[in-house]
Amino acid sequence: DIQVTQSPSFVSASVGDRVTITCRASQSIAGWLAWYQQKPGKAPKLLIYAASTLQTGVPSRFSGSGSGTDYTLTISSLQPEDFATYYCQQANSFPSHFGGGTKVEIK
């Protein structure tokens, strides 16, 4: 199995802040990483796939980067609607594990 480790598990930030979340795979996943946003009581929503491709309709303040084993989700200027929990998922091979999640809360 390819495991994914996400950090940090918690971020306290203010509106307008730049936020960065990282995900590390236990072996190379060749860019096959996805990022999701989940709000309480809702299903996760796909933000980014293939490490850096923005899903249709996702605001451009979200961006993804990385290669090999190390990946990053960046929110360039945090908006009130961005306070949520974020998950990464490796999509290189089955089983397709998720990271443990990062909760972004209001400072």
- Residues lying near another protein in the complex (CB under 8 A) are found at 1, 34, 36, 38, 42-46, 49-50, 55, 87, 89, 91, 94-101
Q: Minimum distance from CB of 101 to another protein (Å)?
A: 4
Which CB, 15 or 50, lies closer to another protein? Answer: 50
* Count of helices and strands (H, E) across the chain: 0, 10
Can you tell me the distance from the alpha carbon of 76 to that of 97, in angstroms, rounded to the nearest whole number? Answer: 26
Q: Minimum distance from CB of 14 to another protein (Å)?
A: 25
Structural contact between residues 4 and 95, judged by C-beta atoms closer than 8 angstroms = no
Structure-token match 């397709």, residue found:
96
Q: Minimum distance from CB of 87 to another protein (Å)?
A: 6
